[in-house]
Amino acid sequence: MRVLPAMLLAILGLASPFGIDAQTYPSSATYPVQNSDGLGPGPDNRAFGAAVHASDGKLFAAVNNTCGELFTAIPTSAGVTPTSSTLCLTESDDIDATQVTDRANQFAFANGVVVIGTPNRDLKKGGADVWRWDNANGIQGPSALGSGDGRVGHMGTAAATSGGDVIVLGAPKDDSSKGAAYVFVDYDKDNAWTRVPGRLMDPNGAAGDEFGGVVAVHNGIGTGNGWIVVASLKSDSSKGAVHAFARSGTPGAYQWFHNQTLTPSSGSAPLGYGAGLAMTGRYLMISTRPSAVGETDGDAWGEVHYMAGPVAANRVLSVDAATAPTFVSDTGHWVRDAVLTASSSPSASSGACAVDGEIAVMGAVGAGDADGAAFVWRRQHATDTNAVKWNLETTLDSSAWTGAGTGWTFKGFGRAVAVNDGVVTV
């Protein structure tokens, strides 16, 4: 049996959600990374694809603990080399290799901005390198981000970006692992990033909670405009919690305030709530991964929340900015829409999740050399009951890959997923 580690990206086109055959998913194609260093399929590069992010028809994938690959043009058929660029950190020890072969939360990409967090930089104060890509100028950067406050928090353990002008970096080791998160903005979109005063924090955080271990942000147009969500994976005996921060103020002078704490809908939910975070302007997806808190993984389990209107006149600002206002207007709150669960023996949850439009994806990896899976849900209206619910439409596995040979297995399939404009990447 030929075993191929998770170093290939499976690109899967989705049928139109408006057609009768909305549940049909065409066969996928494989796209190995191509660059001068010879990185790509091979037993020496198990980190490739440990993180994947899709935005505006482009892909960004982790290559190893120092590099990522930005695919700016992806062919629609197999066997054609995609257009890509390799982006690497200047220091090879800014991220531990073991951090990337597991789950690469340090890698982020959206709207032309690439972020690689550097939690070990500057004696583990942390930081990030940032690149910006556009059609006119190509790749700009990297720009180096640092907290500037001297705190040893491993900032950059988790990274997120959206809208082309906001970056969030988690620092879960700050303050005896109580944790914190930092926000950087680039309103001129010239890759000159400025740190927003103050740090985001859990208002009821405790030592060991590791707030900031996973982060997400959505800065696009929509009802969820400006939201940041931060996980505290080890809070409440590792059950986990997710904290939602809403944006307040005017362009060029934004602040974020603690709006809401989300916890699992059931006491029997798997541990590690918040191990996966993904959001659009309307939906927030949260997945679990028990191994992220030292326990054994099981079936894929997650929740989808939707954005609803305000429930109170004001919310207390909960950051450590010296000039923070006492109250700001409430801009809405997140309401649980569905609990999503799925299993595919012998796969177990990878904690990976993605959401785009009304499509949600969760990943699961196989045991040993076994293949994993990616589960795809779509929010649909049931004509028989008039109910609107999330339906599990399909389970994607490596057997759909047109490039797979007889007897091949794909170790690690499902450990990272992305979805953008009707295309799922695994």
Q: What is the dihedral of CA 299, 108, 188, 184, to 10 degrees?
A: 80
The predicted pLDDT at position 23 comes to 34
At 351, list the tokens: 């904690």
Q: What is the pLDDT along the chain (426 residues), one digit of tens a residue?
A: 444 444 445 566 554 333 223 333 444 444 343 332 333 444 456 678 889 999 998 999 998 888 899 988 876 666 667 788 999 998 877 777 665 555 689 999 999 999 999 999 999 999 999 999 988 888 999 999 999 999 999 999 999 999 888 999 999 999 999 999 999 999 888 999 999 988 999 989 999 999 999 999 986 554 455 899 999 999 999 999 999 988 877 777 788 888 889 999 988 999 999 999 999 878 999 999 998 999 999 899 999 999 887 665 555 555 554 444 555 556 678 899 999 998 887 788 899 999 998 899 999 987 766 678 899 999 887 777 777 889 898 888 877 665 555 666 677 888 899 998 878 888
- Residue 298 CB: number of other CB atoms within 10 A? 17
- Distance in angstroms (rounded) separating the CA atoms of residues 289 and 170: 18
CA distances from 309 to 224, 259, 415 (A): 10, 12, 34
Give me the residues paired with residue 169 across strands: 159, 182
- Distance in angstroms (rounded) separating the CA atoms of residues 152 and 119: 9
The predicted pLDDT at position 228 comes to 94
DSSP states along 345-387 = TT-EEEEEEEEETTEEEEEEE-STT-B-EEEEEEEEE-TTT--
The predicted pLDDT at position 181 comes to 97
Written as one letter, the residue type at 167 is: I
- Distance in angstroms (rounded) separating the CA atoms of residues 93 and 90: 9
- Distance in angstroms (rounded) separating the CA atoms of residues 119 and 87: 17
The predicted pLDDT at position 110 comes to 94
- Distance in angstroms (rounded) separating the CA atoms of residues 104 and 115: 12
**58-62, strands of its sheet edge to edge:** 52-55, 58-62, 67-73, 83-88
The predicted pLDDT at position 48 comes to 80
- Distance in angstroms (rounded) separating the CA atoms of residues 399 and 26: 12
Closest CA to 262 of 213, 318, 215, 303: 303
Q: By the 8 A CB rule, do 254 and 226 touch?
A: yes
In which region does residue 400 sit, left (phi positive, over 0), alpha (psi from -120 to 50) or beta (all else)?
Answer: alpha
Alpha helices in 189-282 (DSSP H): 235-238
Query: What three-state secondary structure class fits 398?
Result: helix
At 286, list the tokens: 């949260």
Helix, strand, coil percent values for the chain (each to nearest 5): 5, 45, 50
CA distances from 363 to 50, 324, 418 (A): 12, 39, 10
The predicted pLDDT at position 4 comes to 42
Q: Is the peptide bond before 346 cis (omega within 30 degrees of 0)?
A: yes
Q: How far is CA 323 from the centre of its chain?
A: 31
